[in-house]
Amino acid sequence: MTRVLVTGGAGTIGAAVVRRLMRDPAYEVRVSDQRTAPQWMREACEIHTGDLRDVEQARAAMDGCPLVIHLAAIVGGIGNFHKLPHTLTEVNNGLYNAIFRAALDHGVERFTYVSSSMVFENATEYPTTEAYLPQCPTPTSAYGFSKLTGEVYCRAAHAEHGLPYTICRPFNAYGPGEMPDPEPGIAHMVPDVIKKVLGGQKPLEIFGSGKQTRTLTHIDDIADGIVVATGHPAALNEDFNISASEELTIAETARIIWEECGEDPAAFRLKHLPTFEVDVVRRWPSVEKARELLGWESRISVREGIAQTVAWLREQDLTQSSHLSALGK
């Protein structure tokens, strides 16, 4: 078996990646995260706890792991991008410095960097292809710039030292595992809006006009795409959009959430709040490259995935705050 290090493995996407790896007998998993790993993960995986901004901790976490999937980052919803711009860049860049150094020191066989659709926040090409990135205007948000910086690290380490890498860009991750935050906008849209509907909010408050579009992608699909790319020869030194293909407006997504929470469709009404300075107008990726090179595509429909997420959140204490790095990614 091949040992895989998953940084940020206790987060929502991280945990989904760990579950997906565990279903494949070719892999054994080590998780590195400062948060407490859930019981099932502690029983099934090797656990490293430490600050991966420290290069010695990063080396210790990576020792004996030919494959690395790097998800550890400060993330969150649109509110986080504006509330914590320096913290995002400081922490994420600190992680890059130590993690890439450790990967080079250990000579890892494949370094999979989990980037973000936010590298395309100023895109004007739709559907947005991977090949468009060099022409895409630089991200405005600190978060988008930080995730793009990680991609630059990958390519720089490859160009100078031959680091074998794969870049995966999830688009609009959602699914069971992420709690909403008491402050709207800090968590992602789906848990935030589900909380509002389950709490009886009428009319339903959203940021902006509701005409902004997103391509919601279930965490289990994202995890599958990341694991497939990590092990696929055609993904070596390549980048991929890991995404569903259905473009929906925020208003359309809010309606699906409303209906899957059991509310009367005829009673659906929106209240439009002022939005943030950076609120991507359109997000719709091309998924052809992953389909053609990896044979991968998403499987879970938005309505099915939101129904799962609603059911999971009904079981949780919605007064609990989400962690700053809820998606762990």
pLDDT tens digits, one per residue of 221-269: 999 999 999 999 999 999 999 999 999 999 999 999 999 999 999 999 9
Report the SS3 class of residue 294. helix
Tokens read off for 45: 């995986």
Report the SS3 class of residue 93. helix
pLDDT tens digits, one per residue of 173-220: 999 998 887 776 667 899 999 999 999 999 999 999 999 999 999 999
Amino acid identity for residue 246 in this structure: E
Spatial contact of 162 and 226, defined as CB atoms under 8 Å apart = no
Q: How far apart are CA 217 and CA 260, in angstroms?
A: 17
Cis peptide before 127 (omega within 30 of 0): yes
Angle at 26 between CA 13 and CA 235, to 5 degrees: 60
Q: How far apart are CA 218 and CA 190, in angstroms?
A: 11
pLDDT tens digits, one per residue of 91-133: 999 999 999 999 999 999 999 999 999 999 999 999 999 999 9
Rounded to an integer, the average pLDDT of 265-277 is: 92
User: Which of these, 46, 23, 21, 62, lies nearest to 231 by C-alpha position?
Assistant: 21
Spatial contact of 149 and 107, defined as CB atoms under 8 Å apart = no
- Could you tell me the sign of the dihedral formed by the alpha carbons of 256, 261, 265, 267, in that order? negative
User: What CATH number was assigned to the domain covering residues 2-174+218-242?
Assistant: 3.40.50.720
pTM above threshold 0.85: yes
